[in-house]
Structure formats: structure tokens, C-alpha cells
Amino acid sequence: MSALTSKQAAGLALSAFMTLDAALGMIASDGRILMTNPAFDRLFGKNSSEDLLGRLQLSSWNEALDTSPLLSINDHTFRVKVTAQPQGYFINAEDITDQFDRTAREARRARTDRLTELGNRRLLREGLQALLDEPGVPQDRHALLTIDLDRFKAINDTLGRKIGDALLCLVARRIRSTVSDHDVVARLYGDQFGILQSEQAQPASAIALAKRLRDLLSRPYMLEGQLIEVTARVGIAPLTPDTTDVDQVINNADLALNRAKQDRAADYCIFESGMDQTMRARRALETDLRRALALREFALVYQPQFDLQSGRVTGLEALLRWNSPTRGPVSPMEFIPLAEETGIISPIGEWVLRTACRDAAGWPDDITVAVNVSAVQFANRALSTTVLSALADSGLDPRRLELEITESVMLDARGTALGVLQRLRATGVRVSLDDFGTGYSSLGYLRSFPFDKIKIDQSFVRGASEDRGNRAIVRAIASLGQNLGMATVAEGVETTEHMERVSTAGCTHVQGYLISRPLPPEQVRAFLARGTVALPPSSSDCSKVA
């Protein structure tokens, strides 16, 4: 095929120039139109040289070659490529409206929570980063709020995910109604939401918003005939002039939210520097707690329970102790709540159960062992299997094992805890209700489950000498236990006065330092072998029991 002549090549190039869909034009440096194609004329109009330089802002690109800014004309978006030539500029304007819109839609989707149609965590982080990066922005006029719903997990588990998702959508709608157009609202994950409040005096504006959220979100919701109530907790992290890190702000808001959730009377909490230190200490304790289980730093001690009628010890309660090589003895009041909150209580509780059954198997056949079981352990459907396995491995008679539970175990909308208790009790395992009278619905639980024993909280026992109301409570519980055929154990009996009072009130058993301090396993057999408990002298008959 022969080569094109110069004239033919020029004609072909001109033909292509005139027929391309891209808007092409040659513009002189003074703005005169030297040459255009029909697409260029349709876009910018013919004979529009007088304002073309201004519309294209060519003067600002004089020093740049091959730049590609975006230009919006008649709801269309064009990518304009400008190339400097000796005669002026060569303009190539390509319509990218569809591509641009598609990219914008994808960007919106990437920053939108699909369930609630609020922003997501990415959008919130980007908005926060933009505030921190923008020079001259007064940081003390912005705050991050995080919001969490109490009881949402229980609602989701009990009524189903469909109801849970619908509830989140209603919550999102209410949150959106409380904020201004300047604020960024996002669903962070699960039932946690975030608000980046801007251009408001802080922390006063964040506090006012937190109060509105608490009031609005706590109002009842009606979903598929179900009246649902939740409570909102809010953590507030105001930005400060020295704030530079997005993660720091989010972490501060989360710390404040956790404090608000711990303080049940608080609607909201504002971040304080000491919270970070507290959280670091908590994480360190959690790490040590996990290590303690792996390294077997836990031990059990046993506190005797004394039968006032027979005058002898009939059982012992297993109590968990932790002697850390770095912390020393750690109070159960410090580590047990953390173990329950983090879920570590489940493996710890299984260790306690197996160890207590193994120890009790070496005691006389008429002595029982009581083991505390938390509500977290009951959340595991395999609990009954674990209990039966511990009994089988140790050879302990099920009738010698007593599980102590608090009413928090019975706060189970699905009734699984009650079913586990019934299955275990059918095997002979005994069940007692601990800390009776300190909750809200204990009488109802006594009707729903035939407990073997009721344990009266030590606060009523020790406070009875100064408070007639406490004495009346002890008498009422003892009478209730007698009428229901349940034993009643008075905890915290430390003096002969305590012993006389609970005995007179009708309690059947006592437990406390007056009988014995908690004993290490190696001392239990010798203690039981003595057969008697030495009590201080008193005029009361109950102090003379052997």
C-alpha cells in the first residue's frame, strides 16, 4: 500500500478533527479562536472568543503543560486537557459526565451505612481529619459524640435481627433530626453511632445535644406490635488546640462513653485525661488476668457454712483468690467484674468448678461444696455439659454440689438459664439464690424455680443492729424460706450478736468469720475432722452449739 501524500494526510487529519466527539480547538494566546470542530462549537458556542479565555481560565495554566482540570457546563462534566503550542493552546474537552457521576455514586456508597443510610465510620473519620488538617480552624468549636444503646443486644437476640435492624433505622432517623446541616452523623458499628458537631461552642453545645439525644432516643418505639424501650448513653470528646490525631479523638469519645455506661445514673460523660490512664490500667489488668489463668495463678479457699439446727458444718463455699506475682493479692471485687465483662469468667469459672468438685470428692460424704456461677457462664449453652463433666471426672455425687447464682442469671428473656437449672437440678445438683434482697424481682424468681437455699446478703445481717428495717428484712426472708421449704443462710456473721439475731429471726444456716475464715484446701479435712466449732461465750443458746 503506497504512503499518503502530505496533502492526503492533512486532509485525513482534518476529517478526523471535525468528526470526533471530543470538543477540540486551537486558541490563540490572546483568546482568538483559530480552529474548532463541531463538538467544540456545540459546547462553547460559535464566535465566543471574547469570554473563552475566562471560562477556561487559560491564564492560570500558562506555566503548566498537559493539565486536565474539570469543567461543568449545562449539568455536564468535562475533563479539559490543555496543551501549550507555539500558536497558543490546543484544547481537548472530553464529556465524562457518566463516568464522573458513577465515581461520585461509588464514593457516596463507600461512605454510607447501607442499613440506616447515615454516613459510616469512614465518612466520620474523613470529616474529622479534614477539621484537623484545615489551617486556622478553631478546634475548640468542634466535638465528637459517640452514642450507644443499652439493652440492644438483648432486644436483638430476643425479638430477632429483623426487629433489631428496624429499631436501628428508627434510632438513626431520630438522631438525624437532632443535628444541624453542618454536623456529620454516622453509624459506626452495631448499635453505636457518632456525631461530629461543628461550629458550636464547646462543650456546652455537645452537652445540650447529648441531653436531647438521651430524651429523644429513650422514648418508646413501636415495631410489629412490640413496644420497645432502650436507653442511650453518650460519650463526648471536645477537640482541643493540641488535638492532631483522629484515632486519639475517637478513642477519647469511646472512653467517655464507657464511663457513661458504667455510671448508670449518667446520661453522658465528657472525656477527661485521667480516663485514658484508667483504661490503660484496665487493659493491663485484663492482660494479667488472662496470663493468670494460663499460668495457674488462681487458688480456691473454702468458707464453712454452719447448720444452726444440727450444730455442725454441713458445707463449704468455694471462693476464688488471685495472688499475682507482680501485683500481689488482687481483690475479687477488682478482677471478677472485669472477668465477667470481658468473658474471661467462662474459662475461669470452669476451672473453679472442676477444682472444687475434685477437692470436695476428698471430703466426708455428707459435706457439700457451693460454687458461684455467673450469668456470663449461663450464656454458654454447654454449661450443663461442663457441670456434669466436672462431676463425672471427680466422682463427686451431684447431690453434694450446690450452684450459687444471683438474680442476674434469671434476667434471661429467652428462658435458657431456667432450662439449664432445671436440667441440672433433675440430676441432683442443688441450686441456691445468692445475695437475696439486693435486686428487684427476687420474689418472682422464687415462684419460677424451687431453690434449695436462699442466701441473705451480708449487708442486711451486719446492718441489722443499727437498722430496724434490716432486722425486719432478715425475719421476712427467713419466714419466706421456711414457708417455701428452702434453707436460709445468713452471710457475713462475724459476732455472737449477729449469730443471736439471725438465729432468733429463723435463719437455718450461717456463714462468716465467727464460724471460720476461708480455709485453704489442705486445711479443710482437719477442720471438719474436729467436728466442733469453737464460738465465743454468750448468753444465747445459739452460741453454745458444737
Please state the pTM of the whole predicted model. 0.61
CA-based R_g, the chain, Å: 37
Pick the more confident residue, 475 or 380. 475
Contact 316, 303 (CB under 8 A): yes
Strand-pairing partners, residue 85, are 88
DSSP tally for the chain: helices H, then strands E: 21, 21
6-98 — its CATH code? 3.30.450.20
Judge contact between 194 and 188, C-beta under 8 A: yes
Residue given cell 459524640 in the structure block: 145
CA-closest candidate to residue 410, choices 420, 400, 399? 420
pLDDT of residue 444: 67
What is the structure's pLDDT at 81? Answer: 82
What is the residue extent of each domain of the chain? 6-98, 113-271, 298-544
Q: Grade residue 18 by pLDDT with cuts at 50, 70 and 90.
A: confident
**pLDDT tens figures, 484-520:** 899 999 999 999 999 999 999 999 999 999 999 999 9
Confidence label for 133 from pLDDT (cuts 50, 70 and 90): confident
Residue 154 pLDDT > 60: yes
Q: Helix, strand, or coil here: 514? A: coil
Return the pLDDT at 101. Answer: 65
| CATH number corresponding to 298-544 | 3.20.20.450
Of 470 and 143, more confident: 143
Angle of CA points 61, 63, 67, to nearest 5°: 50
Least confident residue range of 149-163, 369-383, 480-494:
149-163
d(CA 546, CA 544): 6
- Could you tell me the fold of the domain covering 113-271? Alpha-Beta Plaits (3.30.70)
**Tens digits of per-residue pLDDT, 31-44?**
778 888 888 887 77
- Burial zone of 332 (CB within 10 Å; 0-12 exposed, 13-18 middle, 19+ buried): middle
Q: What is the mean pLDDT of residues 423-429?
A: 94
**pLDDT digits 0-9 by tens, 157-193:** 778 888 899 999 999 999 999 998 889 999 998 899 9
The DSSP symbol for 379 reads: T
Q: What is the mean pLDDT of residues 403-425?
A: 80
Tens of pLDDT along 332-366? 999 998 898 888 999 999 999 999 999 999 999 99
